[in-house]
């Protein structure tokens, strides 16, 4: 009896690490100390000494049941982008700069090429976020998970000068709400999506004219990363008053999280483009509008609150970063919450 016969292939683990090293190396920042393979990731904090009051920020998340699509489509090189996006987008919501990321992959069986493809996506997400992939873990769980399945999660650590943190405390009636376009469903609501569509390879390979691609291609589109957009706004000299990452719980749960008491966000649903995948989900599932906006991002991955005088400057900065902005509403006096109209 040995470990391999018990279901854990140590040699496969070694091969996975060798295959992923080239992707990890592409994410390095000058602050990273040491190399891949140590017991911990080391990151120098020397640079943040220039801040008056540095604050570390962190975010952790996974991809939810979106990984089911990766299994069925046998496409594993983008799901890692989702894992990074879900974490770094939360960090930048607070005004932070993502510094480094670590991933965790639990699998039924370690197939080195598959694990390397997953980490390739993670590394791509880190490059898109200007953060380093300083470590991670791949755990083989024979008997606990099916051999061809895995789960992926991770966490990001960032930093902000306390005086530059985005807290929502200064939001007042009259402030303008700016939305930034999403790339599609992102990584939330897939339990509902899987009830609407029978997630088989045949169905995912079905081409829809209204989507301009197959159902699977539309659904597995990676979560948009907004690090560069928020950096561009800061560089333009705009102080973002509030920021909401539209994830699980859609608009009704996430927008109020950035608001102070006595402020209500009023968002015009016709002010931004909705990717066609949402109309298809709504029609196929016969889902009410409120449930759609309570589950999905509906085309906005982030909503920002800014002073009216900064609205155009904010829009231009977002465009310069390669994202698509919309003026989607205003802040009014009232009970803390959100009104969709």
Beta carbons of 105 and 118 less than 8 angstroms apart: yes
pLDDT of the residue at 4: 54
In a domain, 192, yes or no: yes
Maximal CA-CA distance, the chain: 71
Would you state the pLDDT for residue 94? 93
What is the SS3 assignment for 119?
A: helix
Range of the structural domain that residue 312 is part of: 176-340
Is the domain of 218 the same as that of 190? yes
Q: Judge if 252 and 147 occupy the same domain.
A: no
Does residue 171 lie in a domain region?
no
**Please, which residues have CB within 8 angstroms of residue 74's CB and are 6 or more apart in sequence?**
none
Per-residue pLDDT of the chain (341 residues; tens, 9 = 90+): 434 544 555 566 556 666 666 766 767 777 777 766 666 777 778 878 788 899 999 999 999 899 999 999 999 999 999 999 999 999 999 999 999 999 999 988 888 889 899 999 999 999 999 999 988 888 888 888 888 899 999 999 999 999 999 999 999 999 999 999 999 999 999 999 999 998 899 999 999 999 999 999 999 999 999 999 999 999 999 999 999 999 989 999 999 999 999 999 999 999 999 999 999 999 999 999 999 999 999 999 999 999 999 999 999 999 999 999 999 999 999 999 999 99
Of the candidates 100, 129, 164, which is a domain's last residue?
A: 164
Confidence at residue 112, expressed as pLDDT on a 0 to 100 scale: 84
Name the pairing type of β-strands 300-306 and 207-208: unpaired
For the CA atoms of 247, 250, 251, 255, what is the dihedral angle to 10 degrees? -30
Compute the distance between CA of residue 244 and CA of residue 305 in angstroms, rounded to an integer.
9
Q: Same structural domain for residues 184 and 38?
A: no
Provide the whole-model pTM.
0.90
Question: In this predicted structure, what is the pLDDT of residue 2?
Answer: 39
pLDDT, position 11 = 60
Decide if 278 is inside a domain: yes
* Tokens coding 201: 């390879």
State residue 37's pLDDT score.
63
Q: Do 69 and 213 have their domain in common?
A: no
Number of domains in the chain: 2
Residues with Cβ within 8 Å of 202's Cβ and at least 6 positions away in sequence, in order, are none
Q: Are residues 333 and 185 in the same domain?
A: yes
Tokens standing for 279?
């109309």
From 164, 185, 202, the end of a domain falls on: 164
């Amino acid at each position: 009896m040995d470990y391999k016969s018990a279901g854990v292939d140590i040699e496969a683990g070694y091969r996975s690490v060798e295959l992923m090293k080239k992707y990890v190396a592409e994410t390095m920042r000058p602050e990273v100390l040491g190399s891949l393979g140590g017991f911990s990731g080391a990151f120098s904090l020397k640079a943040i000494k220039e801040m008056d009051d540095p604050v570390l920020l962190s975010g952790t998340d996974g991809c939810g049941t979106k990984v089911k699509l990766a299994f069925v489509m046998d496409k594993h090189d983008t799901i890692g982008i989702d894992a990074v996006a879900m974490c770094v987008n939360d960090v930048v919501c607070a005004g932070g700069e993502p510094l480094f990321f670590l991933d965790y992959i639990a699998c039924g069986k370690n197939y080195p090429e598959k694990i390397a493809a997953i980490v390739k996506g993670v590394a791509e997400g880190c490059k898109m976020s200007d953060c380093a992939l300083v470590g991670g873990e791949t755990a083989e769980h024979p008997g606990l998970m099916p051999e061809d399945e895995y789960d992926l999660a991770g966490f990001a650590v960032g930093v902000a000068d306390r005086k530059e943190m985005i807290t929502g405390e200064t939001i007042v009636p009259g402030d303008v709400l700016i939305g930034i376009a999403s790339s599609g469903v992102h990584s939330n609501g897939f339990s509902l999506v899987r009830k609407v569509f029978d997630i088989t390879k045949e169905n995912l390979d079905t081409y829809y004219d209204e989507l301009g691609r197959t159902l699977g291609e539309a659904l597995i589109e990676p979560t948009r990363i907004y690090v560069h957009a928020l950096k561009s706004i800061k560089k333009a000299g705009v102080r973002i008053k509030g920021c909401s990452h539209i994830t699980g719980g859609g608009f009704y749960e996430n927008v109020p999280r950035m608001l102070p008491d006595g402020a209500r966000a009023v968002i015009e649903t016709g002010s931004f483009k909705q990717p066609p995948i949402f109309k298809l989900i709504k029609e196929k599932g016969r889902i009410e509008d409120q449930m759609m906006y309570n589950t999905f991002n509906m085309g906005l991955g982030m909503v920002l609150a800014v002073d009216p005088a900064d609205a155009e400057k904010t829009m231009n900065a977002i465009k310069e970063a390669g994202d698509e902005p919309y003026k989607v509403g205003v802040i009014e006096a009232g009970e803390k919450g959100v009104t969709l109209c």
